Amino acid sequence: MNDMTLSPDTLAALAPSELAMVPFVSVQDMMRLVHREGLDTVLRDLADHIEADFRRWPEFDKTPRVASHSREGVIELMPTADAEHYGFKYVNGHPKNTRTGHQTVTAFGVLSSVDNGYPLLLTEMTLLTALRTAATSAMVGRRLMPEGAGTMAMIGNGAQCEFQAAAFRALCGITRLRLHDIDPAATAKAAANLRAQGFEVDTFRSAHEVVEGAQVITTCTADKQKATILTDNMVGAGVHINAIGGDCPGKTELHRDILHRASIFVEYPEQTRIEGEIQQLAPDHPVTEFWEVLQGTAPGRRDPREITLFDSVGFAIEDFSALRYVLGRVRAGAPHITLDMLADPDDPRDLFGMLERSKGRG
């Protein structure tokens, strides 16, 4: 049963013991899924799943993620559940990793049945996190960015950068990009990748230059400190800021004066006040929970001159939606293998007997 891809017909024909096998989507499988479906389709489908789950926000168990901090980074667990499914993601954030050839962010996740607690899916989530983060940013951006926006400045041209650009084109129609990174090699990499995708790309040596004339600014840097990627004088009226990189205590990207001028939109305030840009503000500073904008109970952009800020830290419901999406694709035949990770004795209470009977079987 290991190492095979199951069609829906095969799944339906399986004996109960075989159903104890858990589908696993590897990095290779995730790449095949994206190529088969098309990147834009995946990003739009993910945004649809995330938006659908944000619209039923009160139905979820919610908690700030459980974070284990060290000097160089953080390892986090991000759980949530509705009445049917429980999901969690394991994810790290280690800004210095790229110096040794490792990713800053890697992740995997699980979706389980609430009814019997059995895992339904185990999947890589490094690519999936980049995809879901981009889909979330663009889902928010299409509600908040100024009308007719066509140019986005991107500060921080690492792993997340191209995914963000792709989502802003697929969902918001952004086709012109202005790129800047303190590491020119990162900008050169992103520029080459994005030009190959058909974007109009300009590159800049300074953050001051890169934001000129952009209606959307994405900050996507990784540094474990209170950085000031954007100062107040760099942000003109009417701009939408998509702030992705400040997502840990003591790790921010924006000068606090910008926060005082902006209308701030967040995922889950209880987590964002610990991790987001708003950790720099008083605990009662007003923010809007984005799910309320989708539900129509809170306004989005109210004025063309308003500065809107999505203070993104990444919330468990976005991963839950992404896991739901991948399980749906797997059930429709997307590439995966199955893993023997659930004990399945003939008599559920005879776990020991199962162990004994397996003696000598190699």
Which residue in the list 45, 53, 181, 247 is annotated as catalytic? Answer: 247
| Region of 2-10, 77-85, 171-179, 243-251 interacting with ligand NAD (CB under 6 A) | 243-251
Q: Tell me the CB-side half-sphere exposure of residue 48, using CA atoms within 13 A.
A: 9
As a whole number of angstroms, the distance between CA 58 and CA 54 comes to: 9
181 lies in the site for ligand NAD, by CB under 6 A: yes
| Token pair belonging to 241 | 């800021």
The candidate with the shortest Cα–Cα distance to 188, out of 229, 153, 157, is 157
Residue 158-177 contact track with ligand NAD, rule CB under 6 A, x = bound: xxx-----------------
As a whole number of angstroms, the distance between CA 108 and CA 124 comes to: 4
Percent helix, strand and coil across the chain, each to the nearest 5:
40, 25, 35
Among 80, 133, 263, 271, binds ligand NAD (CB under 6 A): 133
The candidate with the shortest Cα–Cα distance to 288, out of 304, 310, 258, is 310
As a whole number of angstroms, the distance between CA 53 and CA 356 comes to: 45
92 lies in the site for ligand NAD, by CB under 6 A: no
Number of neighbouring beta carbons within 10 Å of residue 269: 18
Measured from the CB atom, is 94 or 336 closer to ligand NAD?
Answer: 94
211 lies in the site for ligand NAD, by CB under 6 A: no
As a whole number of angstroms, the distance between CA 107 and CA 84 comes to: 23
141 lies in the site for ligand NAD, by CB under 6 A: no
As a whole number of angstroms, the distance between CA 243 and CA 313 comes to: 8
| Region of 108-116, 180-188, 283-291, 327-335 interacting with ligand NAD (CB under 6 A) | 180-188
The candidate with the shortest Cα–Cα distance to 95, out of 148, 159, 43, 19, is 159
218 lies in the site for ligand NAD, by CB under 6 A: no
Among 125, 174, 222, 241, binds ligand NAD (CB under 6 A): 222
Alpha helices in 2-124 (DSSP H): 8-13, 16-19, 27-37, 39-55
314 lies in the site for ligand NAD, by CB under 6 A: yes
| Region of 55-63, 144-152, 286-294, 312-320 interacting with ligand NAD (CB under 6 A) | 312-320
214 lies in the site for ligand NAD, by CB under 6 A: no
Give the CB-nearest residue to ligand NAD: 158
338 lies in the site for ligand NAD, by CB under 6 A: no
Among 220, 316, 317, 337, binds ligand NAD (CB under 6 A): 220
Measured from the CB atom, is 6 or 230 closer to ligand NAD?
Answer: 230
CB 80 within 8 A of CB 316: yes
183 lies in the site for ligand NAD, by CB under 6 A: yes
87 lies in the site for ligand NAD, by CB under 6 A: no
CB 308 within 8 A of CB 240: yes
Among 14, 75, 182, 354, binds ligand NAD (CB under 6 A): 182
As a whole number of angstroms, the distance between CA 169 and CA 146 comes to: 15
Is 284 marked active-site? no
As a whole number of angstroms, the distance between CA 170 and CA 151 comes to: 14
Measured from the CB atom, is 310 or 337 closer to ligand NAD?
Answer: 310
Among 221, 279, 308, 321, binds ligand NAD (CB under 6 A): 221
Measured from the CB atom, is 79 or 314 closer to ligand NAD?
Answer: 314
The candidate with the shortest Cα–Cα distance to 158, out of 175, 133, 135, is 133
| Token pair belonging to 99 | 């110096």
As a whole number of angstroms, the distance between CA 207 and CA 241 comes to: 14
Residues 6+ apart with CB under 8 A from 359: none
Among 64, 141, 146, 245, binds ligand NAD (CB under 6 A): 245
7-36 positions binding ligand NAD, by CB under 6 A? none
Measured from the CB atom, is 89 or 336 closer to ligand NAD?
Answer: 89
Measured from the CB atom, is 21 or 291 closer to ligand NAD?
Answer: 291
| Contacting positions for ligand NAD (CB under 6 A) | 93, 95, 98, 104-105, 129, 133, 155-160, 181-183, 186, 220-223, 227, 229, 244-245, 247, 312-314
Catalytic residues: 247
